[in-house]
Structure 1
Amino acid sequence: MNDPLLELREATVSYRTAQGLVPAVRGVDLRLEAGQTLGLAGESGCGKSTLAMAVLRLLPRNAELGGQVLLAGEDVRAMSWGRLRAVRWAQASVVFQGAMHALNPVQRVGEQIAEPIRLHSSRPDNKVSARVGELLEQVGLPARRASAYPHELSGGQRQRVMIAMALACEPGLVIADEPTTALDVMVQAQVLTLLSRLVDELDIGLLMISHDLSVLGSTCARLAVMYAGRIVELGPSEQVLRHPAHPYTKALAAAFPTIGDPASRLAPRGLPGDPPDPAQLPGGCPFHPRCPSALETCSDTDVRLRAVGDRSVACVLEVEA
C-alpha cells in the first residue's frame, strides 16, 4: 500500500523561552490521503498554525519538533536542509494567511509564480511563462495578469495568485492557513469553491486551517477540532457540525448566529475567557475551566482522543457514555 500524503504520529512542538519549554502542540495524530480534505479548527492560540508550519519545518529557531511528521512516508525531522528544500513546493506547499503580506510588493506576480518552477523543475525558460499562464487560468485569472504587481490586484485575486503559486510545482499536499480570513463573503465563497474544484481535478490532499467552522464544513470532508495543542474531536464534517460531541466543539458551533433568528443575534452564545496559556496549562482536561459540563474528575483526568462511534473524542463524558 502507498503511504499517505501526510501522517502525524504523536507530533509535538515546544518553544524554548526564558521560562523553559512551552508546549504549543501536544501529541497530535492525523492522517491525510490523496484526494482527501481535512479541516483544522479552533480558537486563536490553540496551535493550529504551529502544527501546519511543522509539516515543512517552517518553525522559528527556538522551536523543538518531536514525534513523527511523515510526508509520503518520509520523516520531515530526519530530512537534511537540501532534502527539505527539494520537498518544499514540489511535494507540499502552503497558502499563507494574508496574501498581501506573503507576496513581494515590488515584483510582478508572474515572476513570483515562476520562481519555484525554475527552482524545482527542468522546464526551459521559454515554457515557464506558458506554465504561469496556465496556472493563473486554472485559478480563474486571465494569463495577462501575470504582469501585474500585487497592489494592482484585489484581495481575492491576490489569494488566487497564492493558490497558483502553491500549485506551481504540482505538489501532492497543499496546506491552506486561514486562506479566506481577509476576504468578503462573496470572494470567500469563490475561493472555497476554487479549492474544492482543484482537489477534485488534481487529486491533491488539502489541509485547511480556520477558526470558522462553516468555512471548513463547506470545503472539507473531515474535521479536526483543536484545543490547547491537542485534537479534541475528529470525524466527518457533517457529523461534527450537526451533532458535536465534545463540549468545546459544541461551543464553537453555537457561537455562530443563526440567520433569521433574532434571539441568536441579540444574545450570541459563546465561551467565557480564552484558551489557556500554553506555559500554564491547567491540570486534567485543559478545557475544564471553561466547560459548562465539567465534572469534578475533569480537573485531574486528562482523556486522550478515543474512538466514539463514527468519530474520535477526547472527553470523559463521551468516553464513559
Structure 2
Amino acid sequence: MLEVRNLKLYYKTLRGYVKAVDDVTFHVRDGELLGLAGESGCGKSTLGNGLVLLKPPMNFFGGEVLLDGEKLPIEDYERMREFRFKKVSIIPQYAMDAMNPTRKIGKYIEDVLDSKGISFESVKETLLERLKLVNLPERVLKMYPIELSGGMKQRMVMVISTLLNPSLLIADEVTSALDVSTQKAVCLMIRDFKELGIVKSIIFITHDISVLYQIADRIMIMYAGRIAEIGKTSQIVQNPVHPYTKMLLTSLPEVGVRYTERILSGIPGQPPQLLEPPKGCRFKERCPLRDKICDKEPPLVEIEEDHVAYCWKVKPNA
C-alpha cells in the first residue's frame, strides 16, 4: 500500500545538514498497523512528518514514496495539499496544541475543509458519527480548544485527521503526554479506525515498544536515521536479532519483576552526531559485538520470512 524507497530527509543548519532520515526503505501493507520505535532523535518523527508535511528546515534529498501505486510529491509542500487529509494524514506529536486556540472547534474544522474545497455540511453527518465513536459530545464543536481536557483534545484531533477517511494515517507519539488509562483508550480508538475501514493502514510512532506489542502487526526499529530491524511484532519482541533492538528491549521494565530481582540495563553511550554520522554501522560505538567489519556499511540480512535486520553480526535462520 505504501512503498518508501531510499528516502533521505535532512535538516539544514548553520553547521551543515543533519541526516535525520538517511536512505530508508520500507513498506506498509494494506490493512496493516506498522509500529515505528527507537530512541529520541532516531528520525522516526522526521520520517512521519516528512511523508505529509515536509517544510523548512527539513529538506528532501532523494528517494521515492508511492501510496496506492501513486507517487507522492512529498518534496513539494504545495503539491502535497491535494493528498493531505484525503490520501495521507497525520495526528501530530503535539496534537493537544494543534488546533487554533482563537477559533471554536467547529469553525476550525470548517476552515480546514474550506482549504480542501469541501463544504462543512457535506461531511457534517460523518463528523457527528465520528464524535460519537470517540465518545465526544456534539457540543464540543461550539467550544474553544482550551475548554477541553488533554484527552478530549487528543480525540478531537484524531477525528479531524481522519474525517476524510485517508488511506494512510500516521500517529506520531499520540500517547506520550497522556495518563495510562487514556493511553489505552487512544490506542484502541486508533486500532478501531483501521478495523472499521475509516483508514486503510497506520504508521504508529512511539518510543514505547510495550504499546506497540498490544496493537502493531509489525514493528520497525530505527537508530540514528536508519532502520535497524523490521519484523512481525512477535519476532521483534520475542526474538530480536539486532544488538540495538536487544538492548532497547532489555532496558524496559517487565511486569511482575521487582527491581531487587533484576536491575534494568540501559544502553551505554550516546547516539552519534548526525551532522557527520560515522561510516559503517551507526550503532558500532555502543555495540558490545563491535568488530572491524562494522566499519563497513551493514548488509540487509533476512532472518526469516518477514524479518530483516541491517547488521554484520546476525545470521539468517537455517
Q: Does 1:132 align with 2:138?
A: no
Q: Is the 8 A contact 1:22 1:279 kept in 2?
A: yes
User: 162, 169, 176: which one pairs with 1:174?
Assistant: 169
Q: 2:92 matched to which residue of 1?
A: 96
Task: Give the distance between the partners of 1:199 and 1:18, measured in 2 at CA.
Answer: 42
User: 69, 72, 75: which one pairs with 1:76?
Assistant: 72
Q: 1:290 matched to which residue of 2?
A: 286
Q: Does 1:190 align with 2:185?
A: yes
Task: Give the distance between the partners of 1:227 and 1:120, measured in 2 at CA.
Answer: 36
Q: 2:149 matched to which residue of 1?
A: 154
CA 147–73 in structure 1, closer or farther in 2 if over 3 Å, else same? same
CA 170–316 in structure 1, closer or farther in 2 if over 3 Å, else same? same
The alpha-carbon deviation at position 236 of structure 1 amounts to 0.2
Q: 1:220 matched to which residue of 2?
A: 216
Per-residue CA shift, 1:144-200, capped at 9, x if unaligned? 222222222121111100110111111111000100100000000000011111111
The alpha-carbon deviation at position 94 of structure 1 amounts to 0.6
Task: Give the distance between the partners of 1:260 and 1:101, measured in 2 at CA.
Answer: 36
Q: 2:311 matched to which residue of 1?
A: 315
Give me the identity figure in percent. Answer: 37
Task: Structure 1: give runs of 5+ residues left out of the alignment.
Answer: none
Task: Give the distance between the partners of 2:30 and 2:106, measured in 1 at CA.
Answer: 28
The residue matched to 2:106 in structure 1 has which SS? helix
Q: Is the 8 A contact 1:27 1:67 kept in 2?
A: yes
Segment drifting more, 186-195 vs 107-116: 107-116
Segment drifting more, 278-287 vs 159-168: 278-287
Per-residue CA shift, 1:267-305, capped at 9, x if unaligned? 22110122111013223211011112222322x122133
The residue matched to 1:206 in structure 2 has which SS? strand
Q: Is the 8 A contact 2:241 2:309 kept in 1?
A: yes
Give 1:204-283 correspondences, 5 Å limit. 204-263=200-259, 267-283=263-279
The alpha-carbon deviation at position 52 of structure 1 amounts to 1.0
CA 302–152 in structure 1, closer or farther in 2 if over 3 Å, else same? same
Provide the TM-score with structure 1 as the length reference. Answer: 0.91
Q: Is the 8 A contact 1:16 1:22 kept in 2?
A: yes
The alpha-carbon deviation at position 320 of structure 1 amounts to 7.2
Per-residue CA shift, 1:83-103, capped at 9, x if unaligned? 311111111111011222212
Give 1:100-119 correspondences, 5 Å limit. 100-119=96-115
User: 6, 12, 23: which one pairs with 1:27?
Assistant: 23
The alpha-carbon deviation at position 13 of structure 1 amounts to 1.2
The alpha-carbon deviation at position 109 of structure 1 amounts to 2.0
Per-residue CA shift, 1:92-142, capped at 9, x if unaligned? 11101122221212222222333333333544x444443332221122212
Q: Is the 8 A contact 1:89 1:169 kept in 2?
A: yes
The residue matched to 1:251 in structure 2 has which SS? helix
Per-residue CA shift, 1:21-80, capped at 9, x if unaligned? 331111111111331111111001111111111112423145233111222233333776
Q: Is the 8 A contact 1:112 1:165 kept in 2?
A: no
CA 145–265 in structure 1, closer or farther in 2 if over 3 Å, else same? farther
Task: Give the distance between the partners of 1:264 and 1:297, measured in 2 at CA.
Answer: 38
CA 176–58 in structure 1, closer or farther in 2 if over 3 Å, else same? same
Task: Give the distance between the partners of 1:249 and 1:284, measured in 2 at CA.
Answer: 18
> What letter is aligned with 2:217?
A
Q: 1:305 matched to which residue of 2?
A: 300
Task: Give the distance between the partners of 1:126 and 1:162, measured in 2 at CA.
Answer: 19
Q: Is the 8 A contact 1:40 1:48 kept in 2?
A: yes
Task: Give the distance between the partners of 2:260 and 2:192, measured in 1 at CA.
Answer: 33
The residue matched to 1:38 in structure 2 has which SS? strand
Q: Is the 8 A contact 1:221 1:236 kept in 2?
A: yes
Q: Is the 8 A contact 2:302 2:316 kept in 1?
A: no
Segment drifting more, 92-101 vs 51-60: 51-60
The residue matched to 1:146 in structure 2 has which SS? helix
Task: Give the distance between the partners of 2:296 and 2:260, measured in 1 at CA.
Answer: 34
CA 47–126 in structure 1, closer or farther in 2 if over 3 Å, else same? closer
Task: Give the distance between the partners of 2:97 and 2:227, measured in 1 at CA.
Answer: 29
Report the aligned-residue RMSD: 2.1
Q: Is the 8 A contact 1:34 1:204 kept in 2?
A: yes
Q: 1:86 matched to which residue of 2?
A: 82
